[in-house]
Amino acid sequence: MSNENDNNKRLEENKKLAEKFIELTWNKGRFNLAGNMVRRDFTYHVSLMNQTSCYDGAAKVIQTIRDSMEDFEVMVESAVAEDDQVVTQSSFCGTLAKPMFGFQPSDKVVTFAAVSFWQFKSGKLQSLHTLLDLAELIRQMRHEGKNLELNIAELVGV
């Protein structure tokens, strides 16, 4: 019974770590604190980008989005954990105040979904892969005919 309780406790801790990471990075921009939650070999991939990045690259992508959107917030709708993996379903919400990835500013509040796959190892975040509902974002922004793929090298100045 103790083994099962320990496993359930670890699963809950991993879900809390994922939610805390979202709160620190996306909602508060506290990248130094969140950096303590990731492993040195951390990798990040989001469906908007054409490559995988390290933690510093992830922080720059997140900060670019935060800087472009007023009243921005990420809300975790649900989290499921198994072994060392967590899957979260989240809603991204905000008003685009500055141009971002081909989208022009608008006074509309946009909301779109994301599903993230988190891998933990020894209590730290090892990898994060996020799928964004870009079709919904495009529909809300009424943005057509643009290539929305982000080149991370351009973003981080490599």
CA atoms within 13 A of residue 31's CA, in its CB half-sphere: 13
Q: Where are the domains of the chain?
A: 2-156
pLDDT tens figures, 54-77: 999 999 989 988 999 989 999 999
Q: What would be the CATH architecture of the domain defined by 2-156?
A: Roll (3.10)
Q: Is the pLDDT at 145 greater than 80, yes or no?
A: no
* pTM (predicted TM-score): 0.85
Question: For the ranges 35-44, 67-76, 92-101, which has the lowest average pLDDT?
Answer: 92-101
Look at residue 149 and tell me whether its pLDDT is greater than 50.
no
Give the Cα separation of 2 and 102 in Å (integer): 53
**Between β-strands 38-46 and 124-132, what pairing exists: parallel, antiparallel or unpaired?**
parallel
